[in-house]
Amino acid sequence: MAKQRSRVAAFYDKLVNFNVESLFARRSGPGTPRTVFFNQNLPESYFDPKGKPKKENIYPTNQIISSKYTIITFLPRNLLEQFRRIANIFFAAIAILQFFPEFSTISPGLVVIPILIVLSITAIKDGYEDIKRHQSDSHVNHSQARVLAGGDWVNPNLNGRKSRTFVRGIVPRRRPKRKDIESATRQDPDIEYDRADSMQEGEHHIFGHAGENTGPHWHKTKWEDIRVGDFVKIMDHEPIPADILICATSEEDNVAFVETKNLDGETNLKSRNACPALTDLRTAADCVSKHNTFSVDCDRPDTNMYRFNATVSRNEEKSPVDVQTVLLRGTVLRNTDWVIGVVLFTGVDTKIVLNSGGTPSKRSRVERQINPQVLANLAILAAMAVVCGIADSQIERVKHPEGAPWLYDDNKANDNPEINGLITWAFALITFQNIVPISLYISIEFVKTCQALFIYFDYDIFYVKKNQPTIARSYNLSDDLGQIEYIFSDKTGTLTQNSMVFRECSIAGSVYHGDPEEDEDEDIKKATENNIVRETSNDSYASTSTRGDDPAVPSAADATVVKLSSGVLKHFRDQRLSQDLARAVEAEPDSENAAQARSLNGFFSVLALCHTVLTAVDRVTGAIEYKAQSPDEAALVQAAADVGFIFRGREKEILLLQTPFSKEVERYELLNILEFTSARKRMSVIVKKLDDEDGRLFLLTKGADNIIFERLKAGADDLKQATEAHLEDFANAGLRTLTLAYKVIQEDEYEAWSERYHQASTALDDREDKIEAVCNEMERELRLLGATAIEDRLQDGVPETIADLKVAGIKIWVATGDKLETAIAIGRSTNLIAEESNIIIIRGSDRPVEQQMIQAVEEFFPDSGILDEYGLVTCAPKQSSTDSASTFPMRRLSTGVRDIVGDDNGDRPGGFVLVIDGAALDHALPDDDHKALLLRLATQCEGVICCRVSPLQKALVVKMVKDGLRVMTLAIGDGANDVSMIQAADVGVGINGEEGLQAVNSSDYAIAQFRFLKKLLLVHGHWSYARNGIMIVNFFYKNIVCIGVLWWFQIYCGWSSSYVFEYTYLLFWNSFWTIAPVLGIGLFDRIVDADVLMAFPELYRYGRERTWFSMKSFFIYMIDGVVQSVPIYFIITYTYYTTTTRTDGYGIALYEYSTTMVFATVIAVSLFNGLNTNVWTAWVFFAIFIGIVILWLFTVIYDAISPGWMVTNLYGNNHYLLASAYFWLSQPLVIAIALLPRYLYRAWQLGYAPGDLEMLRYIRKTQPDLDLTTLRSEPVRSKPYVPSRQRPSSYMSRASITCSSADDLSLDLRRVQDPRCASRTDMSTGIRSVHRGFDFATEEGGVAMRRMQTNLSERRQSSRNLPSLRQGSPKRSMRLFTSLRRKKSPTHKKDD
């Protein structure tokens, strides 16, 4: 029996979860390996014996379609979606049934009209939404790119046809007019020539025919028309239209830089290099030449963003192709004038689209919950019909032998008790069909459309700067916004602006907080204007690295202005720092300011020299701008320039630096770069200072505090303790920290080390390990300089929004492609990670992910019972903690902060945050047991951050939570890498940001700022859910009252399924009499005012707990309706059964007393709806009473229509009805008795058991001017960044350190170093440490870095004997400077 029940449940789940899109999805298959040919014909094997191309050799177009419908699929797919509603199937069946004469009530054509209206209006709404999607798709598909044309160029590769979209199928193509052709022959603005070809092409135009563009050129082509095998030319700041193999670039080394944040979420630029075999293809003429034939063998399309396998075959030689030589669709070209490449994958075969799902057909939870309620009503209807059928059959069987006159001749084959009972059963379905109201769905559609308009016209969520309203792209999900339990957010562009601000720094134990932010808005405004200038006038910039001897290109050495770099929002200014620098410049070597002078000079010299930044000069203004791979690296160099340490570029391996301590530009020779990696967590450069009396060598280092501190020279404990304390302050403020150090290198030491480094870098085995070991040797005995604190600028209002959403009980997960440290830093700045939170890190490594999760559960959640649930036993003994953490066992803390996430998590304050990377998810998600363990571990934590995840992994994480916990999920993002996550969630929100429109096109709601999500959920979502839920149960209620009256009448009509009301009253029941009150609830009711919902996010729990709509509330309202139908029917019936009310003494007619019932029922239902309305506005008054007024007018007019105009059953009824005392006296009596139970319940609830909502409504009513935020009992929520000297300290950690020198610092720092407070535990290594906000973003092992290392290696190879270092020199000081007395250089102004 249980097995059978489980099969039924499984079938029902399969039916409920049926996806219509699966029937219409474009199944392209897994894809096959391909060979793309250039300047040569396709081989015969690409065609079948009939000469037709084989299907596997036809490639998809570059057209991207996020819409659901086409002209052909619109009708069948939309009807299938609508008939997922059980009620629609029932209405259609009832309409068909009434086409048979036995069951006809009115004209069959009229019967079909309601269901057709419902289907048509819904179809029109769905079609309108999809047209908007097509328009958004058109915006992307009609973007233009330069494609090779002319010169007899032919692309031999085969591509499929473009799909005819919904809009294109309607709008016919316009034939070109003669004048258009004539104007096109004069000049085509879409044609461009390379500079090398411009002379020849100009001659061609002079002596040839105008308009004949026969020479090789680049033609601007729509993205959707780009084909596999096309040559394309991409210019700086242009997005990549397809997956492209790089042939050549504008740079000397054929290097290109791309921004991939729209693809993988990482903010730093990536370097890519051209395929070595194709670097000679630098012009259109080279690409067209028949001598340049080659082919590219590609692997099948796959979803892995970091893998690309292909081979270029040219001149019988093969060259490998990997992801470093490819530009993927979704990336943007940066800091590179142009790139020429060949298209290998288009459209659905590109990696970004493969990581995105098809457009789903989403249904709201309320709509899905209606189906069981409709089924319950259908079950009641079937039971009522069966009772009527059986009773009628039995009555006929008994009465026919007795000679009942109405059963005369009731013994024929088609007229007997059995057949008549069956007919009565079917007719009862028609009589009581209003138990499932057909107008319910159309009312829901109307209300949700209006709710979408309310959102659109809400000025509070309108972004004035960009004139962007919040748009509901899917109208049917508004009530889901009020039930969200989990939010999945992207980081870049969603939570952050990807713009950096250098906030504070600690130098030699002194903190410089920066000046007050009075002029910050002006800086940010100018930074925005600079961005606009950069995007519109790229050609006005020249890179100093490629300047050569061209006198037309300005030199960075001569520039007098330093402007804000891209991604840097403001200059760093500090008056106290400026004063200290001024004193340092004038300080004598033996003065008391000498030590501070050395520290200041060394600190900013490290910032200005230890990096890979390039300089560019504006040809017009002559201003220097720094071009960095990451905005935080640009912020560091910019900050150094802001205080006078201006990096003026590179001349090959010579670094130029202008400092306040030197009149001339200082020159440093770059000897080695010890590059940054996630494992090393530091970057170092070895430089030799030129033009100096001793030519000393320096190691300049920046990195994570724990890495730098363990490599410091012994001593200077006060400085270390002060810097640690400042780092703690920076981290608590949510800032990204770096620690700076240096050391002076002896010549003989460097000579020996350089030889070992050369041997390690040329080793064939374990090269990386050997290089790391040699680097470790050098990076020892460092001298600490200080630390920096950079703010990754958040979107406006992000911390407050997240804090309020957490108070509302919503769990927030972050899924980003950024690296682990960046994700943690953002978690802290956005309040996802509290100051006392303990971070658990699980990452893909040599240690199995399952073991990491099991140990995390054992160590941190031993009482959770998770391991017992899954029968898991730890395979390895518990590892002991390392370093200082070993003396501090990890345990829960009592911080007084109530956590939201996880079962009973509020009982264990302090909490934990889980951080897991994409490599670990690769192991955990495919296995069901591991996935379940991960989900249980995650729910025990107060927050989860997924880093280094692919777009597909984002979607899988959302599905894991949605399906595993059966909760309502929302995903929010702004880039193409967020599309799959947005589509996988119950509600998808796209931010109309800087990363394109892909996320918005695939979303259900489009907003301009993350902060708008608060009002969208807490107000509009909560209102919509409460309104829709209350409206629907009131809809069922008002119809069950009517059906109850009809049902009680069957007792007195022989169960014949006859109507007690005149049919016209039933026909207009849901159209005129009772529709307005429920619509009034759906449109105008407010559980509380908007400002109250914003001030008290805790009220959102009513939505999360599904208070407003459930099977329980449904049955309560159904029972209420049945109970109210009893007094309405029986009191009026027995009132009229007594002495007749007519003055002539005749008995009453059926419709005389049933019309009294109609009035009593309509008034009772309308007032009952009013009782369930929380706020009575003018519109609510109108909605409550308009139906009653219409009923009166209709009755008076309809009953007065004479048979000469139209035959009615009610002609003359006014004469008896309105003169009847029974009519007037029964109305108040019956209505009062019917409403009494609900009235008493509401009175008791408001008077003796008020909830939060009732109390707040009462306070608002009695004290309308009271600021309700003053009623909050909890502490003020955390605010966005303020300088650490102003930020209140944690009440669990040490007192805030605000001193400006190490002398004022308390030496009792044991609590600061307690790993139980803000600790992080890496489960893959077992290392436990204190987190102090370290983060630094740069490309690891990129092409640009490899080229720099190669140049340094070649230079080192040519001068292995280091003659400059062998020259004799006097003994040198181990300090940074031997002389501090310098003539102050002229002040260089900076672009403010």
For the annotated catalytic residues, the residue numbers are 490
Measured between alpha carbons, how far is 968 from 474 in angstroms, rounded to an integer? Answer: 16
- Phi, psi for 932 (deg, rounded to 5): -65, -40
Q: Which amino acid does the sequence have at 576? A: R
Q: b/e string for 387-414 if b means 16 or more Cβ within 10 A?
A: ebbebbbebbbebbeeeeeebeebeeee
Q: With left for phi above 0 and alpha for psi between -120 and 50, is residue 1113 left, alpha or beta?
A: alpha
Closest to 117 (Cα-Cα) out of 441, 474, 521: 441
Distance CA 378, CA 372 (A): 10
Neighbours of 869 (CB within 10 A): 11
Q: Angle, to 10 degrees, between the axis of helix 1150-1171 and the axis of helix 1075-1084?
A: 10
Cβ count within 10 A of residue 102: 12
Query: 1029 with 1109: CB under 8 angstroms?
Result: yes
* Closest CA relative to residue 789, chosen from 824, 739, 741, 830: 739
Beta bridge partners of 647: 657
Strands 255-259, 332-334: pairing kind: antiparallel
- For residue 998 the two structure tokens come to 């892909």
Distance CA 745, CA 757 (A): 15
Sign of the Cα torsion 100, 103, 108, 111 reads: negative
Choose among 793, 628, 634: nearest CA to 269: 628
Q: Give SS3 for 507.
A: strand
Collapsing DSSP to helix, strand or coil, 249 comes out as strand
In this structure, are residues 611 and 634 in contact, taking their beta carbons and an 8 Å threshold? Answer: no
Which token pair is 226?
A: 């780009």
Q: How far is CA 10 from CA 3, 13, 18, 22, 1089, in A?
A: 10, 5, 12, 19, 43
Q: CA-to-CA distance for 265 and 478, rounded, in angstroms?
A: 29
At 301, list the tokens.
Answer: 């399309």
Instruction: Tell me if 930 sits within 8 A of 924, measured CB to CB.
Output: yes
DSSP-derived secondary structure for 612-647: --EEEEETTT-EEEEE-SSHHHHHHHHHHHHTT-EE
Q: Of 842, 941, 949, 834, whose CA–CA distance to 897 is shortest?
A: 834
Question: What is the Cα gyration radius of the chain?
Answer: 38
Backbone phi, psi, residue 89, to 5°? -60, -40
Query: Interior CA angle at 1073 toward 1068 and 1077, to 5°?
Result: 135
Residue 560, phi then psi, degrees to nearest 5: -115, 0
User: What is the distance between the alpha carbons of residues 607 and 643, in angstroms, rounded to a whole number?
Assistant: 11
For 372-530, where are the E strands, in sequence order?
Answer: 471-472, 486-489, 496-507, 510-512
Q: In 3-state terms, what secondary structure has residue 803?
A: helix
Closest CA to 596 of 1354, 97, 1263, 1302: 1302
Give the DSSP letter of residue 412. Answer: B
* Alpha carbons 111 and 173: distance in angstroms, whole number: 41
List Cβ neighbours of 405 (8 Å cut-off, separation of 6 or more): none
Q: Which helix (H) or strand (E) holds 744?
A: strand 736-745
